[in-house]
Structure 1
């Protein structure tokens, strides 16, 4: 009867021959002596696990291998002819001379080459540094657990790594503590270079100074984790079939856990909380929701956008933050201002008042100048006060053909200055009025949280979240007011985000929640309706860090902390945002600033026109006194 590993190997050969598309194929060459000498070498298990892991990294398509068994030396030439068409080679033989011969023949081709040595073989002098995994240093158990990890590292570096993007490259290189497959294998033993080279017996994993990556691999390898999660786009997304049953999980948070799963070879299941909440403290001191599952040891990790708050931090541990989030207010879209009195909008009331005062007193000043300049010996009629009013008003509203008295320099100068100032006033008025008519001002219902209690809107808040605790536990300020409103008709708690969206669309409610979550809903609503029916208040609040909760003193926390930081530093967080954050979020839901649209002009905007009037009046007054003096002298 064939050994069990050969049966599995034959099945693998059939499966991989059926593969039609692959980017990289490498050869696995082994001899019959391996089965007799190392019956538990598990070559096919390592290859299967390593290829599967490499295919999940970021290779352009996939990787596969082709097996070649050596029964006698006469088969080597035919095997090597086929190997030249492949992209890499892994050699696992008992006899050193066979491996040395293959290495020497393939040396000029410079193909990636890995030797799995089950017996001590001296290095050959060919000027090339060959990757070797010295499995004879390890016992059967250690060889099995570290073999797949070391071979996967070699595949990543020699086949996949040159073809992945920069972000994935950084993560792969930082994922472990070593830079080569042989170093990865040595790190598994916890031995330094001197002890590794001199050891003559199989070693075990008894060293307390193992690298973290090795410890985590042994902690998680083959383990089954329990995750608790709630759907919360874009962080957690449930994929459902036509019957509404959940068949898969994806989203920003699951990208993190899936990246760790591919590296550390664990499985997981998702436990949904019965009350569909994140968790809050109950009157008896216990916690409900997902945090309650963690405290009862029914879940190992809370996978979702958990806000790190003081009360939660006292009962569970949190990983490092993977995202910073702010809360915002979703409100009905802003409306246009009433255009009934739009003709008064171009100027503020101070400008209108100033113009009214000028229209009243300027004709009197002109008339006084004419009266002062009357020559007793000349029979000239002094213009009346009514005519001065007609002149001032006619110039202001742009009526041409206004006649002005032709004697006296000071009144003529004052009249000319008024004409110039009136041009400035009229041009500014017409320009701003056109802007108001073509681009009306959009006025949001509220701009910030403090305005919500005094508006006509009611409010809704998701149940069992940090926002509920924020408002209900507040003891002063607007937070307390919002929290107290949850117990009367002004506010209410909701279990579904869709419920809150529908209430906002109806125009009667404001929905308070995390901004990224609301952006996803706005994008979905825009896709369905084709119009923007929702918007955000201008000011955001309650900025918190999002992290994964774990039981106190969980052994998984150091792993999550380090790997999450590596992923964020590599830019994977921004890459996943591009995938899961809605692309149409910029079309709707933008925060409306308190002042949008044309601006009404104030005194500071028209100070130039008023300065012309002031300087002109001063000059006219000086000229008036001069003319009056000359008249008296005559």
Structure 2
């Protein structure tokens, strides 16, 4: 039976062999290691049989088996009592897997772990075998009609270019043209602007108002306006059948500003430890949510159930690594065939993925040396993504869908609002014109009567 690693490392010859030949050395008589692990798919899946014996599967299990075959050791899996990575207490002790390594209860802990200053003071880290960031996992909304969909056939850039072209065409006519039929400069310029607008909305434009080079400019504007309007009409018909799937949570700020949302996170991780020390910014406000009861700390093993129950109700979001979020979404897609969840656009807190060992242990540099070819060859990434089925099924799920149904009031609501607002403004301007015209007519009539009473000839017409 192989001796424990602690006893094997007492032999100076073994330590010297590990240090001088990290890529080829093997324990001659074998060794037995105690390895700590917690359930963290897709990197490592921890299962327990009826007798309470733990076993692991997944990419980290493959990595550990490769190291065991290379170094000639066997291993025994244990897990921390609190099921966490490890957090530092005020008295200087540590919980979780970090605490097990620090107290020499285990030889290594699989994690994977992100490197922090506080952890590096009590444990040694191997070479990183993967990098990942954190993302926010939320529930998609139900498909809904966008009442302002009539604005979507053109992008903002096209709308701006259209208005700029309209202005340039009008300005060119003002500069190159001359007053006609006794109009003043302001009246003539306003008439030209209205003529350009009439072309854009497909109304008639009297060509007799223009001459020579003016007609050339007007003709160019007609061609541009007609091409854009025809393109707009054809695209709009298709867009009226589009339903938009809301994805309101796009960043940490959206989570903080929504008082109805509770954040689900795993406790005692690099994320929770780091954001608790930040003094300002979105991450500080995210950490402050725990003081008002808006943070629910749960182990990672509960995340799939929380996603299907709590997050599905639009009352919670989950903060996890991006790869784990993809796994949760893919697993639910395999069960339901639906892409009901999405990752927010903002990602944050990119960190390393390492194994940890006891401080000063010669086994950690040897593991790092042998991890490197596995990473550089892409073998670990191959193991990782081979275990995630339907990974790409929901990654490219659309934020809008097309339906076949009759147009309803909701489809045309934006157009009707715009039409109503325009009609109201036109009526208001018309009433103002009547009032101003009536006032001026009455004033002229009063002046005429006053002149007649003084012996001057004058009249007042209706």
Is TM more than 0.5 here? Answer: yes
How much has 1:530 moved relative to structure 2?
0.7
Alpha-carbon distance between aligned partners in 2 of 1:229 and 1:252, rounded to the nearest angstrom? 13
- Three-state SS of the structure 2 residue aligned to 1:327 is strand
Q: 1:223 aligns with which of 7, 31, 42?
A: 31
State the match for 1:494 in structure 2: 298
Q: Which residue of structure 1 lines up, in the alignment, with residue 72 of structure 2?
A: 265
Give the aligned partner of residue 45 of structure 2. Answer: 237
Match for 1:473 among 277, 284, 290? 277
Instruction: Spell out, residue by residue over 1:102-146, the C-alpha distance to the aligned partner (whole angstroms, 9 max, x if none).
Output: xxxxxxxxxxxxxxxxxxxxxxxxxxxxxxxxxxxxxxxxxxxxx
Provide the residue aligned with 1:333 in structure 2: 140
- Is the CA contact (8 Å cut-off) linking 1:225 and 1:269 kept in structure 2? yes
Query: In structure 2, do the counterparts of structure 1 residues 513 and 591 end up closer, same or farther at CA, with 3 Å as the change threshold?
Result: farther
Q: 2:107 aligns with which of 288, 293, 300?
A: 300
Change (3 A) 1:425 1:232: same
| Further displaced range: 561-570 or 479-488 | 561-570
Aligned residues: 378
The 1:466/1:362 distance shift into structure 2, 3 A limit, reads same
Query: C-alpha distance in 1, partners of 2:378/2:245?
Result: 38
Q: What is the rounded CA distance, in whole Å, between the counterparts of 2:397 and 2:251 in structure 1? A: 11
Distance 1:244 1:397, change over 3 A: farther
User: What CA RMSD, in Å, does the superposition of the two structures yield over aligned residues?
Assistant: 4.2
Higher RCO (C-alpha 8 Å, min separation 6): 2
CA contact (8 A) 1:534 1:589 kept: no
Task: State the SS of the aligned residue for 2:93.
Answer: coil
TM-score (norm 2): 0.69
Q: Distance in 2 between matches of 1:311 and 1:468?
A: 13
1:360-400 CA-to-partner distances (Å, cap 9, x unmatched) read 99999999754159xxxxxxxxxx9999999766543335x
Does structure 2 conserve the Cα–Cα contact (< 8 Å) formed by 1:334 and 1:443?
yes
Q: Which residue of 2 aligns with 1:586?
A: 392
Cα shift readout 1:273-332 (whole Å, capped 9, x = no counterpart): 111111101122211111111112111110221111111111111111111121111122
Q: 1:433 to 1:299 in 2, by over 3 A?
A: same
SS of alignment partner, residue 320 of structure 1: coil
Q: Distance in 2 between matches of 1:406 and 1:507?
A: 61
Counterparts of 1:359 and 1:568, CA distance in 2 = 61
Question: More deviation in 275-284 or 554-563?
Answer: 554-563
Deviation string 1:541-561 (CA, Å, 9 cap, x unpaired) is: 211111111111113113211
Q: Residue 423 in 1 paired to residue 230 in 2? A: no
Contact 1:538–1:591 (8 Å) recurs in 2 = no
| Inter-CA distance 285–572: structure 2 relative to 1 (3 Å threshold) | same
The answer to whether residue 181 in structure 2 is matched with residue 371 in structure 1 is: yes
Provide the C-alpha distance between the structure 1 equivalents of 2:191 and 2:220, rounded to a whole number of angstroms: 18
Any stretches of 5+ residues in structure 2 without a counterpart?
Answer: 1-12, 403-462
What secondary structure sits across from 1:294 in the alignment? helix
Q: Could you say which residue in structure 2 is the equivalent of 1:212?
A: 21
Matched, 1:525 2:332: yes
Match of 2:236 in 1: 433
Tell me if 1:504 matches 2:311: yes
* CA positional deviation for 1:578: 3.7
Residue 452 to residue 589, structure 1, CA distance change in 2 (3 Å): farther
Asked if structure 2 preserves the Cα contact closer than 8 Å seen for 1:252 and 1:577, the reply is yes
What CA distance in whole angstroms lies between the structure 2 residues aligned with 1:297 and 1:359?
Answer: 81
1:216 deviation in Å? 4.5
Please list the CA deviations of residues 32-89 of structure 1 after superposition, one character each: whole Å capped at 9, or x if unmatched: xxxxxxxxxxxxxxxxxxxxxxxxxxxxxxxxxxxxxxxxxxxxxxxxxxxxxxxxxx
2:201 matches 1:397: yes
Q: Secondary structure at the match of 1:538?
A: strand
Q: Find 2:83's aligned residue among 233, 255, 276.
A: 276
Which secondary structure state, in structure 2, belongs to the residue aligned with residue 548 of structure 1? strand
Q: Does 1:574 align with 2:384?
A: no
Out of 237, 248, 251, which is 1:445 matched to? 248
**Alpha-carbon shift at residue 432 of structure 1 (Å):** 4.8
Contact (CA 8 Å) 2:22, 2:369: kept in 1 or not? no
Match of 1:256 in 2: 63
**Contact 1:486–1:493 at 8 Å: present in 2 too?**
no
Q: Is the 8 A contact 2:87 2:96 kept in 1?
A: yes
TM-score by length of 1: 0.52
Give the drift of 1:473: 2.2
Distance 1:498 1:509 in 2: 13
